[in-house]
Structure 1
Amino acid sequence: MKFEFLGTADTGGIPLHQCHCEMCEAARQKGVSNRSTSAYLELDDGSVILFDAGYDLLCDRFNTTRIRAVFLTHFHADHCLGLIRLRKSVDTIACYIPDDTEGFGDLFVHKDSIDYQVMQPFEAKEIEGVKIVAVPLLHSKLTHGYVIFTCKGVVAYLTDCASISSESLAYLKAQKIDHLFLDAAYTPWFASNKHLNWESAGEYIESINPKNGYLIHASCKTLLPLHVKKIRLKYPYIEQGFAVEV
């Protein structure tokens, strides 16, 4: 099975509109458009499980692909906008969500083909032999990360968060995680009560101790000082299209 990122950036993406920093100009030259953080797991039969739905081209990328389910981390626009088109699907699509009664826009009013199902903290769902566990994260809106268990490995998809509770951290430490992807939206000198930075995220990764750790949800402003100052982090930021076999 393949776990691949459709995007690893923040809301604005890279290149950012009208930004001419080195990161954005390099992305334009390469023809790269790194969109909001989201990912998918491709099952052995070619069907997929989506993790977040902020990728605006979901209906194009998976137009003839069976979507088994969507696991939504939270109802901020950059993680759920793809549902606006996806809800017109001929198929009924299960969408697992935190217990957020507000949702986003009219997605709850006009559900159409989306079957919203609330997951409680640490609840597990199983789809075609893959177990997915909801892990609460501390963010500005009710948010879940997800730990994904396949027959070959364990992946933790943890975006967005400002911190991880002791209960969630204990759960993550107890798992033998092969690949951990963690929000690090900011630089250490930018104070935020919504997102981690590359230092605080690195400390969490050290504490959880996965085989491999990666940073996600960055903006060009976060990545630029790393590039200019030639800073090498122990845990790297990944780009759109990054994939692991699990």
Structure 2
Amino acid sequence: MQLTFLGTGAAGGVPLWGCDCLICRRARIDVSAIRRPNCALIEADGVKLLLDAGVMDVCERFPSGSLSAILITHFHPDHVQGLFHWRWGVGELNVFAPHDVEGCADLYKYPGPLKFKHLSKFESFEVGGVRITPVPLVHSKPTLGYCIEHNGARLAYLTDSREIPPATTEFLTQWQPHTICLDCTYPPGVEGKRNHFDFPEVLELSKIYPDSYIVLMHISHSLDVWLLNHPLALTGRLSLARDGDRLDIPGLS
């Protein structure tokens, strides 16, 4: 099973409009520093699952018939804005998502070929032999993480969260994912109400899952700057995702 990051950025992206920090200046001349909206592609034995659709050109990247389904974590615009182009297409494409009566704008009213299917937490289902278990996360909208398994390979994709509920923690502890892709938006020292994890919180969470590799995503420009000045902060099982990175999730040999 493989995961490819189509985007790894927080809502504002990198470069952030109007910002003149070192990272944003770099991203304007170096495409490798750009962070687009956080979303990814899962591939396993011919199955292709799109995890969120924040990148605006997703319907161009994935022509009709190329995707098995879409998994939506929540209905904030930076995670679903790419769906709006799809509504003018033909055919059918299943979109699995959390229960959210509001959705985003008029997606529910004018879905076009998008067939929304609302999920219940911890109720597993399969798409082409890939087993998916939605798990609840704490965010400002109804939000699900996805635990994805195929042929012994186990990946937990947990974006946009300020807290992992005890039931989700218990599930992950028993399930033992090889890799956890985890929201890490902020550097240390960000005060006030937040709907995303900061780096110290992620360090603490990583201790709960000592056998899992932790890949940080949903990165803000401020965390990029902090990590540039603290290059030894990422050690051991923690790594930083970048747009275009590909992860191989090992399964049964």
What TM bracket, shorter-length normalisation? over 0.9
Distance 1:8 1:65 in 2: 25
1:84 lines up with 2:88 in the alignment:
no
Q: In 1, distance between residues paired with 2:138 and 2:174?
A: 19
Preserved contact between residue 3 and residue 41 of structure 1 (Cα < 8 Å):
yes
* Post-superposition CA distance 1:54-95 (Å, at most 9, x none): 111101211355211111000001111011012233231111
- Please name the residue that 1:215 is paired with: 216
1:48·1:65 contact (CA, 8 Å) conserved in 2?
Answer: no
After superposition, where does 1:150-189 map in structure 2 within 5 Å?
A: 150-189=150-189
Q: Distance in 1 between matches of 2:45 and 2:28?
A: 34
Gaps of 5+ in 1: none
For the Cα contact (< 8 Å) 2:13–2:35, is it kept in 1? yes
CA 1:87–1:67: 2 relative to 1, 3 Å: farther
2-side partners of 1:171 and 1:214: how far apart? 19
User: Contact conserved, 1:180 with 1:205, CA < 8 A, in 2?
Assistant: no
Query: Which has the higher mean CA deviation after the structures are superposed, 208-217 or 169-178?
Result: 208-217
Q: Distance in 2 between matches of 1:88 and 1:68?
A: 19
Q: What percentage of residue pairs aligned between the two structures are identical? A: 31
Over the aligned positions, Cα root-mean-square deviation in angstroms equals 1.6
Greater mean deviation of Cα atoms: 86-95 or 197-206: 86-95
Q: Which residue of 1 aligns with 2:38?
A: 37
Could you tell me which amino acid in structure 2 is paired with residue 237 of structure 1? L
Alignment check: 8 A CA contact 1:53 1:83 kept: yes
Write out per-residue CA displacement over residues 15-47 of structure 1, whole angstroms, 9 at most, x where no aligned residue. 2223222212222322243201111112333x5
Shift of 1:129: 1.0
Q: Work out the CA distance in 2 between the residues paired with 1:65 and 1:91.
A: 9
8 A Cα contact 1:169 1:208, kept in partner? no
Corresponding residue for residue 107 of structure 2: 107
Distance 2:197 2:205 in 1: 10
Maintained 8 Å contact 2:121/2:134: yes
Secondary structure of the 1:42 match is: strand
Aligned residues: 245
Cα distance, 1:152 vs structure 2: 4.2
Unaligned runs of 5+ in 2: none
TM-score (norm 1): 0.94
Task: Specify the code of the residue in structure 1 equivalent to 2:49.
Answer: I
Task: Quote how far apart the aligned CAs of 1:241 are.
Answer: 1.1
* Alignment partner, residue 129 of structure 2: 129
Take 1:132 and 1:95, find their aligned partners in 2: how far apart are those partners?
13
Deviates more, 1:100-109 or 1:195-204: 195-204
